[in-house]
């Protein structure tokens, strides 16, 4: 039995381009384009679940853990919305970039180089973000089990990933990496994509109940992302811990 979810090859891949995290025209350009829709989705769903007031800092005092935080593209907006944010990533380079950027922007975010199974905490989190990370880990079941152990009872976990379909292979790999060159070739491995029912099944075994699942759809003509019904390529799921 493995006791480690770190995929060294994946970590090296992202460490090599760590300096690019905050360049909206760089290697993470698709993520910068994708980010606003993710932020509004998370914000709306967190406010609704915890019955928060939709003011300037609606997430005030909520403890959020951003797993696989990269350079902090989600950690920073969550912090600006008032949350107490902790970001973890298995790449030391990513964490250095994230720390530097948050310091420059006077944002208090706790960053640690760690994977969830090695991350030791005193208090559990209200919200866990698992955004575009499960398709890069070594052992999905162990990874998700470790994540759920860091979540409070009645807490929320968001998981955004790629569905394992022929369409996702054509769009996310052939289209995005080889034809449009939006992403470096080799960013994704189709074998690592996770079907929604597989994800739900793993999390149900760990006392998490699926609350909602939505597609994240890209419109090539308008060059924009939106939340929709089509879950055949990108999807985001919200789970609540029983």
Mean pLDDT throughout 193-210? 97
Vertex 89: Cα angle to 61 and 17 (nearest 5) = 125
pLDDT, tens only, 88-112: 999 999 999 999 999 999 999 999 9
Name all domains of the chain by residue range, CATH numbers in brackets: 8-241 (3.40.50.150)
Could you give the strand order of the β-sheet that contains 125-131, starting from the edge strand earlier in sequence? 110-113, 84-89, 63-67, 125-131, 151-162, 234-241, 208-219, 224-228
Residue 5 has pLDDT above 50, yes or no: yes
Task: Determine the pLDDT at residue 201.
Answer: 98
Residue 215 has pLDDT above 90, yes or no: yes
Q: Quote the CA–CA distance of 84 and 111 in Å, as a whole number.
A: 12
30: part of which helix (H) or strand (E)? helix 29-50
CA 186 to chain centre: 19
Q: Quote the CA–CA distance of 203 and 138 in Å, as a whole number.
A: 17
Instruction: Report residue 74's pLDDT band, with 50, 70 and 90 as the boundaries.
Output: very high
**Residue bearing the bigger pLDDT, 174 or 21:** 21
Q: Quote the CA–CA distance of 79 and 157 in Å, as a whole number.
A: 17
pLDDT over 70 percentage in the chain:
98
Residue 195 has pLDDT above 60, yes or no: yes
pLDDT, tens only, 118-155: 999 999 999 999 999 999 999 999 999 999 999 999 99
Task: Determine the pLDDT at residue 1.
Answer: 44
Distance set, CA 161 to CA 3, 182, 184 (Å): 23, 17, 18
List CB contacts of 186: < 8 A, sequence separation 6 or more. 13, 177
Distance set, CA 13 to CA 46, 90, 100, 132, 187 (Å): 32, 12, 21, 15, 8
Tokens (6 digits) for 49: 């679940």
Q: Quote the CA–CA distance of 113 and 90 in Å, as a whole number.
A: 5
When the pLDDT of each residue in the chain is averaged and rounded to a whole number, the result is 93
Q: How many residues does the chain have?
A: 242
Number of H helices, E strands in the chain: 7, 8
User: Which of 25-34, 107-116, 168-177, 205-214 comes out lowest in average pLDDT?
Assistant: 168-177
Mean pLDDT throughout 71-83? 98
Of 116, 38, 114, 44, nearest in space to 75 by CA: 38
User: Which of 79-83, 84-88, 210-214, 221-225 comes out lowest in average pLDDT?
Assistant: 221-225
Residue 2 has pLDDT above 60, yes or no: no
């Amino acid at each position: 039995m493995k006791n480690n979810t770190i995929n060294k090859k994946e970590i090296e891949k992202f460490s090599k381009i760590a300096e690019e995290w905050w360049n909206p025209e760089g290697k993470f350009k698709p993520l910068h384009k994708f980010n606003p829709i993710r932020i509004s989705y998370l914000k709306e769903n967190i406010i609704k679940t915890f019955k928060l007031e939709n003011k300037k800092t609606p997430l005030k005092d909520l403890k959020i853990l951003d797993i696989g935080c990269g350079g902090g593209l989600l950690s920073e907006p969550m912090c600006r919305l008032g949350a107490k944010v902790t970001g973890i990533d298995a790449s030391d380079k990513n964490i250095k970039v994230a720390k530097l950027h948050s310091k420059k922007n006077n944002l208090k975010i706790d960053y640690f180089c760690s994977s969830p199974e090695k991350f030791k905490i005193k208090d559990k989190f209200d919200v866990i973000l698992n955004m575009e990370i499960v398709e890069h880990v070594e052992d999905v079941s162990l990874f998700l089990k470790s994540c759920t152990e860091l979540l409070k009872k009645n807490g929320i976990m968001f998981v955004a990933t790629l569905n394992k379909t022929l369409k996702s292979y054509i769009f996310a790999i052939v289209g995005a990496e080889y034809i449009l060159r939006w992403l470096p070739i080799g960013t994704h491995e189709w074998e690592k994509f996770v079907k929604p029912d597989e994800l739900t099944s793993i999390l149900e075994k760990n006392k998490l109940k699926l609350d909602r699942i939505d597609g994240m759809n890209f419109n090539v003509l308008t060059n924009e992302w939106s939340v929709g019904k089509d879950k055949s390529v990108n999807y985001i799921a919200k789970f609540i811990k029983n």
